[in-house]
Structure 1
Amino acid sequence: MFRPGDVVVYTKTKHTTSPGPRAHDIEPESRGEYYTYAVDKYWIVDRVDTDGIMVRTRRGKSHLISPEDPRLRPAKWWERLFFRSRFPTSAAAVDDCLK
């Protein structure tokens, strides 16, 4: 389903005292000052292995994600259009710029 170079969206669950501006599905704890919420992460697929899908963040970090993970999905066309600055550039584009 995923190929290298595909842009994907991963919905990451976070737990802090103050949700950021991109947080959604915010739920306060029953007692305390903490919130549980979700944040969409915009990543690119570097490679697909038998172990899983290796994705890369905009800052260059890599994560190995299971292809069956329900929080991982292909980016919709409107996300690619409106949030294109949030996706990392492909490795091929970076290599072309360095030449």
Structure 2
Amino acid sequence: MTAQSYQRNDWVIYRKQKSSVSPGPRASDVHAAGKGNTYRYVVEKYWVVEEVASDNKLKLCTRRGKRHLVDADDPSLRKARWWERMLYRGRFEAIDLSSPVAQED
């Protein structure tokens, strides 16, 4: 998707790859990494579009107020589907775009 496909306050889901010795309950696609000491997995993050930049970048806001700058055509990013908007409504509504800016890339 391009940046023009997104608008401020759109609800999006970002599939973030993580690694740890014990995946959490929301982890999916879990695989043993390397020599089996850790696991690689994916966690879905529920974020809101705060700003659409002209260079095909999106500034996304998390529930805890962190900001991420992501390419609009990142394959890990997509708009929330209608049923996800209903099911995870509380996670999206917990995001306050007026909170102080904390930057994380």
Contact 1:46 1:55 in 2 (8 A): yes
Residue deviations 1:28-66, cap 9 Å, x none? Answer: 125232000000000000010023100100111100000
Distance, in Å, in 2 between the alignment partners of 1:30 and 1:47 is: 38
Asked if 1:42 corresponds to 2:68, the answer is: no
Count of paired positions: 93
Aligned pairs for 1:57-96 within 5 A: 57-87=62-92, 88-89=94-95, 91=97
Q: Gapped runs of 5+ residues in structure 2?
A: 100-105
Q: What percentage of residue pairs aligned between the two structures are identical? A: 44
Distance, in Å, in 2 between the alignment partners of 1:17 and 1:31 is: 12
* 4+ runs deviating over 3 angstroms: 88-92
Q: Report the 3-state secondary structure (helix = DSSP H, G, I; strand = E; otherwise coil) of the residue aligned with 1:10.
A: strand
Counterpart residue number, 2:37 = 33
Distance, in Å, in 1 between the alignment partners of 2:74 and 2:89 is: 23
Q: For the pair shown, which has the larger CA radius of gyration, 1 or 2?
A: 1
When the two chains are superposed, the root-mean-square deviation of aligned CA atoms in Å is 1.7
Contact 1:5 1:90 in 2 (8 A): no
Distance, in Å, in 1 between the alignment partners of 2:46 and 2:86 is: 12
Shift of 1:25: 0.4
Q: Gapped runs of 5+ residues in structure 1?
A: 95-99
Q: Report the 3-state secondary structure (helix = DSSP H, G, I; strand = E; otherwise coil) of the residue aligned with 2:69.
A: strand
Q: Report the 3-state secondary structure (helix = DSSP H, G, I; strand = E; otherwise coil) of the residue aligned with 1:79.
A: helix
Q: TM-score, normalised by structure 1?
A: 0.86
